[in-house]
Chains A and B, each alone.
Chain A
Amino acid sequence: MRNQSENPLPAFLYKAFVFGFGGLSLIYLVAPIVIAITMSFTAGQTLKYPPEGFSLRWYEALLDPLRSSTEQIAAGNSLKIAGLAVLGSLLFAVPATIGMARMRRRSVNTIEPLLLAPLVLPSLVYGLAALIVANFVGFQPSLWLTVVGHVVVFGPLMYRAASVVAQGINPSLAEASTVMGATWVTTLRRVILPLLTPGILAGAFLVFIQSLDNVSVSLFLADAQTTVLPLRMFALIEESLDVRVAAMSGLLIGLTLVVMLVARRVLAPSRQA
């Protein structure tokens, strides 16, 4: 009874469009990542692509403490800032999600936009605003100021990820726990937090990745001694197109892949439940 079988041409063109053009678009989306990975194994001195031979020399150069001390320090700073930003957003955003899940819809609708606002604002503008105020109050740019900036800008990601889970928690579970005589600390520790864990992990993952990648806040809030990884890469790209940037890219893509696979393992079973 299918009418379009009378004229197969439009159906064929449609298939060609979806599978052909859609497939090509998908390749366009992923190809740069593949190119960055393969570039990092080049044996050559330049960014010529396809690469000239296979070697691990740029990874070795990156691990060499003499040649790449600046890059290693920058990576250390970035990891430290990202870790502290995750910790900070845990401290502020997770209690907020728990609280919001207990509040009336109307109060949530009033407060939530304020909490999520940093996600909408271009972070470059926020970096500038924070720099002006910090300077006004007498704080110089530093690692700690950068951490505060990252918690403000990326904390909402943790809030959003955890609140998706918190909204789904049946309130009678907490009530049942209270009725059975558990204190609020016990209820929090034994009932609420375990249920929230998938959301918190997803949030931690997002905050960590975003903080590690951030340029526009760190640009204004980090001091000259606290070079962060993306800014160091930016500088290397602008100055000399050093091939070590390819190896750094390779490592960062590898890190993303590993974290994504781990996240799938950790989060997938609990989502089905």
Chain B
Amino acid sequence: MKASGFPYVIPMLLLSVAFFATPLAVLVGFSFIGPEGLSLHNYARFLGDAFNYRVLINTAKLGLQTIVSTTLLGVPIALLYWHSGKTARQIIIFLTLIPMLTSNVVRTFAWIVILGRQGPISETFVALGLAERPFSLMSTELGLVMAMCQIDLPLIILPLVAILSRIPVTYTEAAQVSGAGPWRILVTVLLPMMLPGLLAGWILVFASTSASFVTQAVIGGARNVYVPQLIYREVGTLFDWPMASAIAVVLLLSTGILLVAMTMISRHRRLVGHA
């Protein structure tokens, strides 16, 4: 029995149980506190409200839109990495890490500049005659998706690059020698191998969009409301903690179900196909 390491783990384990698991359990308990004792009152009130329901749908929609757009931009970057030499590969990694490690508030601020009435997009459109007057993409869903896509892009690039860096060039060379064109190699060799990385990336992106409070609040504006803002409103202005807890549990459950589903798909794929 080789258990001599366990004492070293105890402090972090205690920290996890006392300061992480316990608060979560209390949060779940709190969500059942209604006006007359324990009940599903908060859940019924939250899900019964048409506005809240729409917010929940919008949050899921924002997550899916971000997943699609990050995939559309992330896969070409991963392919660029695949076809690059050693130095270019290092540069691509560096360029991916800089935005990833830059503060979220800073990236959100950059998008305020870009999307604003006096920003580069509006100025370019006016200069090219595509728009008559300067316009702002702030407080629009399109602007928010553009920003979220850039902010979460590294989360999908890094898992893809991690996979591609381990694949020997001989794999595609074999396909090439057998007479496959580049598109065919992409569809039959590269994309299937990238699939586990894509699934890992999608999970990270979805988890990130369902929690990026600042970007949603600042760029989405008052017209586009998402679940994290609802939670903050219940706590910060309405002081209804049981209600906030119930919304938090709904957020956790809905993201949790999606994440489990995605993980199961990725396991299944791996069993059926490659690797």
Contacts and interface: CB of A to CB of B under 8 A. Distances in A.
B207 A29 contact: no
Interface in B1-28: 2-9, 11-13, 15-17, 19-24, 26-27
Given A25-B73, A29-B150, 15 more contacts: A4-B179, A21-B76, A29-B95, A32-B99, A35-B113, A95-B9, A95-B11, A111-B9, A129-B23, A152-B19, A213-B103, A215-B105, A219-B232, A237-B218, A252-B103
Contacts of B244: 128
B20 A14 contact: no
B211 A123 contact: yes
B228 A18 contact: no
A98 B182 contact: no
Interface in A107-139: 107, 111, 114-115, 117-118, 120-126, 128-133, 136
9 contacts: A1-B177, A18-B79, A29-B95, A47-B119, A96-B11, A120-B207, A230-B214, A249-B109, A252-B103
Interface residues of A, number: 92
A28 B83 contact: no
A121 B207 CA distance: 8
A32 B107 contact: yes
B98 to A, nearest CB: 6
A19 B39 CA distance: 58
B153 interface: yes
B154 interface: yes
A133 B13 CA distance: 19
A191 interface: no
Give the dominant DSSP class at A's interface. Answer: helix
B235 A131 contact: yes
A50 B127 CA distance: 13
Contact of B109 (A121, A130, A245, A259): A245
A101 B5 CA distance: 7
B186 to A, nearest CB: 7
A158 to B, nearest CB: 10
B80 A26 contact: yes
Q: Which 4 A-B pairs have the closest CB atoms?
A: A99-B8, A102-B5, A22-B80, A122-B211
Nearest to A251: B106
Contacts of A79: none
A212 B41 CA distance: 38
A93 B77 contact: no
B23 A14 contact: no
Given A101-B5, A129-B23, A29 B153 contact: yes
A253 B103 CA distance: 8
Interface stretch (B49-57, B245-253, B264-272): B245-253
Given A33-B99, A96-B8, A151-B15, A14 B112 contact: no
B136 to A, nearest CB: 11
Contacts of B6: 99, 103, 107
Contacts of B80: 18-19, 22-23, 25-26
B140 interface: no
